[in-house]
Structure 1
Amino acid sequence: MERPRTTQGGDYSPLPSGPQENYTRQGEDDSGELEDCCESAMRKLAIGISSTVRRGDDEPVMEMESGRSTRSRARRVGPSDKRREKLFADIERIQGQIAERNERNARRRKRLEELKAQDDAEKWEDELYQTRVQELNEARVRIETSSSTSTQDIFQGVLQLNEEISRTASEIIRAAAPLSVTERHGLNIPHVIRKTLGKAFLFLFQSDEDHVLEDKQLVQAVLQIFLARSCAELIDCWTLGSNYFNHGMDKLYDRILQKETQMIAGKWRQLAFGKMPIGWNLQKHADHNARDVLQILGCAGWGGLNNLQVQPLIKELMVMADQLRKNVKMDMIGSDLRPWVALYNAKYHPVTMKDVANRFGMERTTGAERFHVLGSTALGLKAYQKVEGSTPRLTAQVVYQTKVLCVEPLRGRSSGTKTPIPRSDSTSRHLSRGRSFSMS
């Protein structure tokens, strides 16, 4: 360290005082050099004072002057009071400067820590912002590119599925042969119909004759109702074989659609569907439906087919329905397209439904609005659009009407039992005696 400067009389020159304003963000600490200087001055002062105390002010100190003879002359020397006061004043001044600079350095260190913390926070916010921007850009790209299926593809898929439903039912009934009385008596008709078609269809199969449905066209219509409903249920599934889980996912999707935009809801539907458990495989689903078709045929008085003959036809139909399910739930984001069928006893609506009784050799009647649906023989398609506003709502636009068979409104007896109204001799001959129905 540099030695403190002195005057000609031997006194120490006072150190420069005053704040040093050349402060940088790095906060260089300059108190160390000042402390070293002060420590050196105090050490020298202490040495001088201690030596004076040991000698005393009156004790002479002998100094040999050069150029003199060996005969020396004593000279009395010692620190004066003025010099001592000056040294004490310098010490106090230096100590004050040290304290002041320590305080200033402490403030600077505190400010530096605050700036570092602020800088770290700003860097973290910048990194987080950049991450979110990147994720948003990726999401936008994915939203724009992940709709690999167009609306026209889904429209065409529904039409092809309906054609396959009609072709499958037609091939099955064309290959069927009448069952013998013995074979038919072994069937539990009420149980089978309740399980496959529903209790509402029992009146079609209750008869004392050998064959409940002699008209193959009517049997084909019933098979198409069953197959169309099975395909619609498959398309509506999030995972196969779990109705409770599917119902819960539908409710969750509807809640998201109410609170978010249709694009966000569609993106959630895509991501959620991609993570769904597989559930049943299509082979198991096809086997299950093939057994049901054979049982319905048996209840109608027709047989001659086995599972090996029917299962490939049903499997092909289920594959098409499953592909349509993936298209509407995962491949389509910006739109909400839903294939659907009308269930039994739904009120006939000419805008969303189309009566196709004449396709099965039945008479169409006027005033169909007052009729009720027996079932859908083909799927319809609706496009749902969310209308934003103070009270957001979903509107449905009919893309394809569902094709239905209708029954005239049921009139209740005095006991409350409902009976279909007879309308046509060509259809009533296939029903039980005294219980006929009409198809429009």
Structure 2
Amino acid sequence: MTPDQPRPLVRRGKRTLTPAMLAAREELKTPVPAWPGKYELLNVLRALPTALQIGRNAYHLLIRMVEKTTPEAWVEGVPFIYAHNATLMAWSGLSLSGLRRAIRELADARFLVASDGRNGQRGRRWQGTDGDVVVGFSLASLRYRWPELQQQLETERRQRAEITFLRDAIADLYDQVRYRAEQTGREETIVAAARLMRLRRQTLSLQTLQSYHEAMTDLWRDLPVENPADKEALEPQKTASCIPEVAPMDAKTGTHYTESLNTQKTLSVDVAAQRRICIEMLRCEDQDLPTLNTDRVATSALRGFKGTSLLYMTVCPSLREFCHTDRPSQDELADAARQLSGRIGITWASWKLGCTVLGVYEASVTVIIMAARLDQGESIRFRDAYFRSLIERGARHQLHLDRSLHALRQQALKGTMEAGIRPSVTHQGSEYHV
């Protein structure tokens, strides 16, 4: 090409549309699945800084764009951003190249749709047939992402609860390890436990935290116990002196069971064997009452109900994930319920409180019943407070776990019968085998 010949005209500023951008444009023509409000959407986006899988600059730019829209635009109409590049750069603090990368990243993630000017020219303002300026960015795609955002928020909350639960469990074991190591003079064990305490705050991986918890448990098991009474003192004891402070339900409302079937054995005393015998005379006489050891039955929330591990895994399918065998023992079942409690949103402090007030096995059954009801689709908003209210009922001897287990067992049998499966059920005393 000679200097005298003019250069060919090259159109600049035309946006390259990817398949994701084209799909987002076509999506706007379909019915809207949800109509979230502005501040409701902002609360969800602010709670998901890393779960959206977009860069930091793109995330902050999206937040600023939603903040600059009016609340009325999300109720009716289309939330739209009319802003020049200079204005967007002032909002986000990005350079021009960083702004372009952030907008392309948001468009590829289908969080916004770019509305360009005539012939696809990027940023060319023009007047449409109805007189509206159509150059800018449409945020209506967030309405189509709303179900996915809610699901990501629930997953993020569950993961945060599990992380907090594992961190508290490691800290609780650290206190016991340090105490026993100081008694036996094991300085290397104290240093290793302190290292695990520091590392637990530096990770958000559940697998890593579980490995730290297992390592702390190994340190606790390797320490010698000079006095067997000290080992018994470390185990949670059943007492009703510790009553939780949080109680969202009273004693008459909000029961956690739907059907009632009391298996507790009661004593009947004939106070009037004949018609004309006065009750006052019988009170003075020493009656030969049948002896029955009801201390355990009266204090236990199970009321003498004995369920097998297969029964618990049948009524609560999510428990199988934490059981290593098909027939777990009582200790393995309690350990699985402890891990399940962190999954459903019960804190470590509440779990320890339940083991202290109800007992380890009764607290495990309470967690299994809550998880079973959640698996059935029931909603428990404040799960940690709900668990503490059940602990308070148990402290007042008003918690009937046997009724809940009977109800869940009947529902499981009904489901198997409707599915055309003939269950094998035997009954031995107060123990049910499914």
- TM-score scaled by structure 1? 0.21
- TM-score scaled by structure 2? 0.22
Look at both structures and tell me which one has the larger radius of gyration over its CA atoms. Answer: 1
Higher strand content, 1 or 2:
1
